[in-house]
């Protein structure tokens, strides 16, 4: 049955996606085997990428230092595990109602053979089912898919920047054998290398001097070298000066080499997991908050706000162990919520 890109985009918006772009599969030529979506659905003709905005208000409480739950729940796990899969399922069913197969690629990775911690392939996790195939699960890169679907560009931070919502978007994808018309690649320029993402990252995870690059769809993409280990620890509140829940007993040396700080950080970070995700207590201080504020002040985005995001200088605490007024409860264990 006839199905056009415009019909898919209309349905995506009605179902609740904020952005929808379409990539042709040839744009993934050259992708590493373990990340090449063409192995997931060899007959796919198109990759549909859906973007879901992070409302600016999710970050307000963290910016003020008074309320951390909104971003940790609705901006992370809730979006990944609840809202986006509902919309994804709706669009998949809509496409299949038109007699085309649609493979959802949700934003979770229970079987990925690419390790978050090392960013490398871990062949010991699974075996290929046929000679020549990658090992399951192939782990598609959503930012590359979003780039191929014309939804924006990579920022220096390696966070994907959309011309309407900047860095405040999370993405999922659908592979389909419907022959959809692809969108053109994004031709604009959003990132001006201001380096605020690198300077304001509480984990100092983004190099200001070293870069990495790849070529996708014939375009060279470059970003600041990202230390994923430092990023993972900072993301969940491992930097004591930026985590007001951190226990006095915290010793960063105990968890700095563990991905996301492991159980050692969980003992002292002072916040429970949210929707099966580590609590995103850092609130993407540099790569999202500082970048968003910068892009809005530059009027680089098509969407604007009446008031600027950042109205006060960013806060920073004394280390908890040196704060005489911080009277936390001694001993191990995380104070989970009272529910
Ligand atoms: S903060 Fe500046 S350098 Fe970093 S991604 Fe945003 S615009 Fe680019």
SS (H, E, C) the chain: CCCCHHHHHHHHHHHCCCEEEEEEHHHHCCCCHHHCHHHCCCCCCEEEEEEEECCHHHHHHHHHCCCCHHHHHHHHHHHHHHHHHHHHHHHHHHHHHCCCCEEEECCCCCCCCECCCCCCECHHHCCCCCCCCCCCCCCCCHHHHHHHCCCCEECCCCCEEECCCECCEEEEEEEECCCCCCCCCCCCCCCCCCCHHHHHCCCCCEEEEEEEEEEECCEEEEEEEECHHHHHHHHCCCCHHHCCCCCCCCCHHHHCCCHHHHHHHHHHCCCCCECCECCCCCCCHHHHHHHHHHHHHCCCCCCCCCCCCCCCCCCCCCCHHHCCCCCCCCCCCCCCCCC
In our burial notation (b when 16+ CB lie closer than 10 A, e otherwise), range 113-136 reads: bbeeeeeebeeeeeeeeeeeebbb
> What is the whole-number distance in angstroms between the Cα of residue 95 and the centre of ligand 1?
36
> What is the whole-number distance in angstroms between the Cα of residue 93 and the centre of ligand 1?
37
> What is the whole-number distance in angstroms between the Cα of residue 163 and the centre of ligand 1?
13
Q: What pLDDT, on the 0 to 100 scale, is given for residue 275?
A: 87
Closest protein CA for atom 2 of ligand 1:
194
Q: How far apart are CA 97 and CA 105, in angstroms?
A: 18
Closest protein CA for atom 8 of ligand 1:
191
Average confidence score pLDDT of the chain: 93
Q: What pLDDT, on the 0 to 100 scale, is given for residue 42?
A: 97
Closest protein CA for atom 5 of ligand 1:
155
User: Residue 335: pLDDT above 70?
Assistant: no
Q: How far apart are CA 175 and CA 39, in angstroms?
A: 11
Beta bridge partners of 104: 174
Chain position carrying tokens 């986006």: 84
Q: What pLDDT, on the 0 to 100 scale, is given for residue 119?
A: 67
pLDDT per position as a tens digit, 162-173: 999 999 999 999
Closest protein CA for atom 7 of ligand 1:
191
Query: Given pLDDT bands bounded at 50, 70 and 90, which one contains residue 319?
Result: confident
Cβ(233)–Cβ(260) below 8 Å = yes
> What is the whole-number distance in angstroms between the Cα of residue 159 and the centre of ligand 1?
9
The ligand 1 atom nearest the CA atom of 295? 7
Q: How far apart are CA 44 and CA 37, in angstroms?
A: 9
pLDDT per position as a tens digit, 259-271: 899 889 999 999 9
Q: What pLDDT, on the 0 to 100 scale, is given for residue 322?
A: 86
User: Residue 338: pLDDT above 50?
Assistant: no
CA distances from 305 to 67, 101, 152, 221, 275 (A): 21, 40, 20, 30, 30
For a substitution probing ligand 1, which of 155, 163, 165, 167 has the most ligand atoms within 8 Å of its CB?
A: 155
Pocket of ligand 1 (CB under 6 A): 155-157, 191-197, 290-291, 294
Rounded average pLDDT over 4-17: 98
Rounded average pLDDT over 202-215: 96
Share of the chain above pLDDT 70, in %: 96
Closest protein CA for atom 4 of ligand 1:
197
Query: Given pLDDT bands bounded at 50, 70 and 90, which one contains residue 332?
Result: very low
Chain position carrying tokens 């590493």: 32
pLDDT per position as a tens digit, 96-121: 999 999 999 999 888 878 776 676 77
> What is the whole-number distance in angstroms between the Cα of residue 177 and the centre of ligand 1?
36
Q: For residues 143 and 278, which has the higher predicted lDDT (pLDDT)?
A: 143
Q: How far apart are CA 331 and CA 164, in angstroms?
A: 47
Closest by CA position to 302, among listed 164, 188, 192, 189: 164
Q: Is the pTM of this model over 0.85?
A: yes
Q: What pLDDT, on the 0 to 100 scale, is given for residue 130?
A: 97
Q: How far apart are CA 313 and CA 309, in angstroms?
A: 11
pLDDT per position as a tens digit, 128-178: 999 999 999 999 999 999 999 999 999 999 999 999 999 999 999 999 999
User: Residue 15: pLDDT above 70?
Assistant: yes
Closest by CA position to 20, among listed 197, 145, 187, 167: 145
User: Residue 334: pLDDT above 70?
Assistant: no
308 Cβ partners below 8 Å, 6+ apart? 293, 296, 297
pLDDT per position as a tens digit, 24-59: 999 999 888 999 999 999 999 999 999 999 999 999
For a substitution probing ligand 1, which of 189, 294, 299 has the most ligand atoms within 8 Å of its CB?
A: 294
Q: How far apart are CA 300 and CA 189, in angstroms?
A: 9
């Amino acid at each position: 049955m006839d199905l056009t890109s415009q019909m898919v985009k209309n349905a995506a918006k009605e179902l609740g996606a904020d952005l929808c772009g379409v990539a042709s599969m040839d744009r993934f030529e050259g992708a590493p085997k373990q990340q090449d979506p063409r192995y997931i659905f060899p007959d796919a003709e198109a990759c549909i990428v859906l973007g879901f905005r992070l409302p600016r208000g999710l970050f307000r409480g963290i910016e003020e230092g008074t309320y951390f739950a909104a971003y940790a729940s609705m901006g992370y796990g809730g979006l990944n595990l609840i809202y986006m899969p509902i919309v994804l399922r709706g669009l998949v069913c809509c496409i299949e109602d038109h007699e085309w197969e649609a493979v959802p690629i949700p934003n979770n990775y229970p079987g990925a053979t690419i390790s978050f911690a090392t960013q490398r392939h871990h062949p010991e996790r699974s075996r290929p089912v046929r000679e020549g195939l990658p090992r399951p699960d192939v782990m598609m890169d959503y930012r590359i898919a979003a780039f191929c679907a014309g939804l924006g560009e990579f920022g220096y931070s390696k966070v994907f920047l959309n011309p309407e919502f900047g860095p405040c978007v999370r993405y999922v994808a659908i592979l389909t054998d419907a022959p959809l018309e692809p969108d053109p690649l994004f031709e604009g320029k959003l990132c001006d290398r201001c380096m605020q993402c690198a300077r304001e990252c509480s984990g100092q995870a983004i190099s200001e001097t070293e870069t990495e690059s790849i070529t996708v769809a014939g375009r060279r993409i470059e970003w600041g070298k990202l230390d994923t280990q430092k990023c993972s620890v900072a993301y969940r509140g491992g930097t004591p000066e930026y985590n007001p829940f951190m226990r006095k007993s915290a010793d960063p040396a105990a968890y700095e080499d563990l991905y996301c700080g492991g159980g050692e950080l969980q003992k002292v970070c002072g916040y429970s997991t949210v929707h099966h995700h580590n609590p995103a207590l850092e609130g993407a201080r540099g790569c999202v908050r500082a970048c968003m504020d910068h892009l809005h002040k530059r009027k680089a985005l098509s969407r604007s706000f009446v008031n600027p995001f950042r109205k006060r200088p960013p806060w920073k605490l004394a280390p908890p162990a040196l704060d005489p007024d911080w009277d936390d409860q001694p001993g191990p264990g995380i104070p989970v919520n009272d529910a």
